[in-house]
Amino acid sequence: MERKKNMKKSYYILFIACLLVSCADNKASKTADKPSVPMFNADSCFSYVMAQTELGARVPNTQSHRQCADYLSEKLRMYADTVIVQECLLKAYNGNMLQSKNIIASFNTVTKNRLMLCAHWDSRPFCDEETDPIKQKSPVIGANDGASGVAVLLELARIIDSVPCNIGVDIILFDAEDYGVSEVEGSFCLGSQYWAKNLHEINYNPKYGILLDMVGDKSAIFCKDAVSAHFAPDVQNKIWKRAAELGYSNLFVDKAVGELIDDHYYINIIAGIPCIDIIHYDSETGFPDTWHTNDDVIDNISKSTLKAVGTVLTTIIYEEK
């Protein structure tokens, strides 16, 4: 009788042990199935903003603009598999011919399953939102309006080089975006218009694109613009949903705003690539207070905002199948 009790007890212990091993295996399997998302380094990203602004305003046809083009090209060549500089001469609204460069960096070039990430790297030739006529004549340094989005993409390039992802990624830095005036239709986004008509690769067809514009302000708010909602609603909803899950619903606000004519507009209507815009704009407060003013400088850039945007994008990239 005692022997049977001991055998029964042994069988019970063995059963529990097997059950625990099975649970551990299932947990390990689930962990293995979940992609590992690298950490986005806000300090590194901030240093990329500073490097651009230290060159001065990146207005086409200026020395600062040429120096920044070299800096961005060299930096991306450190990380990417290939870098293409698409040079073009673009006519501005005032007749000026702008020596422009779209800079395209590609990762994991062999795969057809690709994402497109973009931002503009130039800055505005005048501060038209200033009330002082003297201040209006100075160019915008563009720490937020241009450099912040570029910096996030440079940090992503560094991350992808260190920790390869499963998909192909193309980073495109558009030029001559901010050389327009509202009175002349189509005078903004000249670089992206040119690229959309002259794709860097025949039959280029990524799954979707994400545009970054003004993503570093301390009071940032990213609402759902109507152009993105029209052309790529699933992409827009996925990104805002994932941002909320990551704890950034205070920045990525689930609120619809009107049409914004930004680079993504031309990517959608000319190239036919579904592309959304992550941009600081709210129907009540508009663009950030520093927009097109002398205050768009490094002192008004927030590492926490850069961290939030970078973390959301890193997560989207590494979870993409």
> Where residue 135 sits, what CATH number does that domain have?
3.40.630.10
For residue range 153-178, list pLDDT tens digits in order: 999 999 999 999 999 999 999 999 99
Q: Is it the case that residue 15 has pLDDT exceeding 70? A: no
What's the confidence (pLDDT) of residue 35? Answer: 73
Report yes or no on 251 lying in a domain.
yes
Q: Is it the case that residue 261 has pLDDT exceeding 60? A: yes
User: What is the mean pLDDT of the segment spanning 300-317?
Assistant: 98
Report yes or no on 26 lying in a domain.
no
What's the confidence (pLDDT) of residue 34? Answer: 61
For residue range 47-90, list pLDDT tens digits in order: 999 999 999 999 999 999 999 999 999 999 999 999 999 999 99
For residue range 197-249, list pLDDT tens digits in order: 999 999 999 999 999 999 999 999 999 999 999 999 999 999 999 999 999 99
Q: Is it the case that residue 41 has pLDDT exceeding 80? A: yes
What's the confidence (pLDDT) of residue 225? Answer: 98
Report yes or no on 11 lying in a domain.
no
Report yes or no on 238 lying in a domain.
yes
31 vs 309, which has greater pLDDT?
Answer: 309
pTM (2 d.p.): 0.90
SS (H, E, C) the chain: CHHHHHHHHHHHHHHHHHHHHHHHHHHHHHHHHCCCCCCCCHHHHHHHHHHHHCCCCCCCCCHHHHHHHHHHHHHHHHHCCEEEEEEEEEECCCCCEEEEEEEEEEECCCCCCEEEEEEECCCCCCCCCCCCHHHHCCCCCCHHHHHHHHHHHHHHHHHHHHCCCCCEEEEEEECCCCCCCCCCCCCCCHHHHHHHHCCCCCCCCCCEEEEEECCCECCCCEEEEHHHHHHCHHHHHHHHHHHHHCCCCCCEEEEEECCCCCHHHHHHHCCCCCEEEEECEECCCECCCCCCCCCCCHHHECHHHHHHHHHHHHHHHHHCC
Report yes or no on 100 lying in a domain.
yes
Domain count, the chain: 1
Instruction: Residue 263: give the domain boundaries.
Output: 37-319
Report yes or no on 47 lying in a domain.
yes
Report yes or no on 236 lying in a domain.
yes
User: What is the mean pLDDT of the segment spanning 174-203?
Assistant: 97
What's the confidence (pLDDT) of residue 321? Answer: 86
Report yes or no on 133 lying in a domain.
yes
